[in-house]
């Protein structure tokens, strides 16, 4: 990842909850980004589902600016 300037984004919380009591919760879901400021991202766990997997919701905040150049 470092050779390609990649960074990971994670909630740092488990995303897999095994039903087998001999297994521990684990972090399976994360995102990889490149060239975008990390402060533009927000990650949340979606705990609303009844599953052994917890999806991760990634929101990227952007600002769109209008270009006022009137070219014909």
The parts of the chain modelled with pLDDT lower than 70 are 70-72
pLDDT tens digits, one per residue of 47-67: 877 788 888 999 988 877 777
Q: Is residue 39 part of a domain?
A: yes
Count of structural domains, the chain: 1
Q: Is residue 70 part of a domain?
A: no
Q: Is residue 52 part of a domain?
A: yes
Q: Which domain holds residue 28?
A: 2-60
Residue 35 falls in which region: left (phi positive, over 0), alpha (psi -120 to 50) or beta: left
Q: Is residue 43 part of a domain?
A: yes
Q: Are 17 and 38 in contact (CB under 8 A)?
A: no
Return the pLDDT at 30: 87
Q: Is residue 32 part of a domain?
A: yes
Q: Is residue 36 part of a domain?
A: yes
| pTM for the structure as a whole | 0.61
Q: Is residue 65 part of a domain?
A: no
Q: Is residue 72 part of a domain?
A: no
């Amino acid at each position: 990842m470092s050779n390609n300037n990649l960074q990971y984004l994670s909630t740092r919380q488990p995303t897999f909850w095994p039903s087998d009591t001999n297994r521990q919760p684990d972090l399976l879901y994360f995102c990889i980004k490149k060239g975008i400021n990390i402060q533009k991202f927000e990650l949340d766990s979606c705990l609303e589902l009844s599953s052994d997997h917890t999806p991760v919701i990634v929101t990227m905040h952007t600002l769109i600016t209008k270009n006022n150049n009137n070219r014909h």
